[in-house]
Amino acid sequence: MPTPLPARTIKEVHDGLRNKEFSCREITDLYLRRIEELDGGIHSFLTVTGDEARAQADAVDSNIASGSSIGLLEGVPAALKDNLLVAGGRTTAASKILDSYHGSYDATVVSALRKAKTVFLGKTNLDEFAMGSSTENSAYGSTKNPHDLSCVPGGSSGGSAAAVAADECVYALGSDTGGSIRQPASLCGIVGLKPTYGAVSRSGVIALASSLDQIGPLTKTVEDAAIVFDAIKGPDPLDASSMAAPSKPIVGEIFHSIQGLKIGVPEDYFIDGMDTDVVAAVRAAITQLESLGAKIVPITLPLSKYALAVYYILQPAEASANLARFDGIRYGFTAPEAKNLDEVYRLSRGQGFGQETRRRIMLGTYALAAGYYDAYYKKAQAVRLQVRRDFDNAFREVDCIATPASPVVAFKIGERTDDPLTMYLADVFTVSANIAGIPGLVVPCGYADKGGKQLPIGLQLLGRHFDEAMILRVGYAYEQSTEWHKKTPVLS
């Protein structure tokens, strides 16, 4: 059996360290041992940084021994998605083209967590360059869902989500371009927060789509998500798109009652083909919110049905531009057989990028090409504005919006790899938040019995720009009134 842990949430680790129930070195060693015991079957991590983690833990123990008070994240073992730069640390974005690349500086969020004295256990697996919804597109092999090792954990932050679900770390950071935090959080039965675009610096994240990417936490509880968000949010001169979000700590605002709040429920998000267990669980969660005093308001978001099409024009277009820098010269892999500059470009990119990455680069380049720009990219940007206005109109009537997070529970590994269009539909409920730039939170709201395995279901809460406090407040109220967040996978 895997090593038992004395603490699984940020608050539990913090209280244990403060009360000297265990040392930071002891809790760090327990998590590293658990990774060693379990991760061969799950494959959450691409790199485990045990020596660095122990050194960080020893520094925290020295601080505690000196009588200093400790912050909420101090000494808490965490993991980072492997598209976040760490100075001197291997950063691959799960691509062979960056197999030997080491970061030259820390991402701003990594610097923020260093300042908070968190302990970094390692870097987690993802779909290559964060392009995917299952973590099957990694050049280093698929991550498996801890609740059923024959199923995907979601993506692209599947390694981070699986690591948190399997208690291989206390929390992890992921990135969300079209649902890449929220969808794996739903499929793995944990909490995932995509902040408002601009609330968290993107400096030091290997860019996929610069107008859509956002970094956020994957945690066991809503309170933990608020704690991590407080640590990483804020403006950054290194990121021109970052904005001065409310500086007041969010965590103190999530404990208020939701009595009288108006929660919008768009029937547009309950579509044909959804898993019946998902529909039932999300409907039950909405009824539970009503029992806690919230007023449920039917709303319409008629343009959300276009968000997926808009996303799969804008995201590949921005990806094709961002990934042009990986040319076989400046970063990572260079094809050894290349005889001239043209072959360096063509062979290095052809061999270094995986199939899905090549597909999206070609789609994006096509959408940006002369003669097609107006028909596709320009029109998608116009529809994007209308989708955002759809949400603005809805938020004039309600305080937040409740929807499913995924139309299905975790599907079998390999089930959709030959059908990219079906795979893209996994993001149908999450992409609209990225298109509009609004925050989204996923909390566990039920389980479906599939072949004797209990597979998680998530409730998504969407909020106004920079109103993370509202969705975290509603999520916390729901979480505390249920037991879903306490359910853990059976691992051996």
Q: In 3D, which of 169, 149, 172, 164 has the Cα closest to residue 41? A: 149
Q: In 3D, which of 136, 95, 75, 307 has the Cα closest to residue 212? A: 307
Per DSSP, the three-state class of 224 is helix
| Cα–Cα distance measured from residue 39 to residue 221, given in angstroms and rounded to the nearest whole number | 22
Per DSSP, the three-state class of 298 is strand
Q: In 3D, which of 114, 161, 166, 121 has the Cα closest to residue 27? A: 121
Query: Which residues, listed in sequence order, are joined to residue 192 by a DSSP beta bridge?
Result: 218, 442
Answer for the pair 319, 95: CB distance below 8 angstroms, yes or no.
no
Q: In 3D, which of 189, 209, 219, 226 has the Cα closest to residue 406? A: 189
Sign of the four-CA dihedral 478, 480, 481, 486: positive
| Cα–Cα distance measured from residue 111 to residue 207, given in angstroms and rounded to the nearest whole number | 18
* Segments of 71-224 assigned E as strands: 77-81, 119-124, 171-175, 191-194, 215-219
- Catalytic center residues: 81, 156, 180
Answer for the pair 173, 233: CB distance below 8 angstroms, yes or no.
no
| Structure tokens that stand for 67 in this block | 């009588």
| Cα–Cα distance measured from residue 157 to residue 161, given in angstroms and rounded to the nearest whole number | 6
Answer for the pair 129, 205: CB distance below 8 angstroms, yes or no.
no
Distances (CA, A) of 487 to 305, 404, 490: 33, 19, 9
Q: How far apart are the first and last CA of the chain?
A: 5
| Cα–Cα distance measured from residue 95 to residue 132, given in angstroms and rounded to the nearest whole number | 13
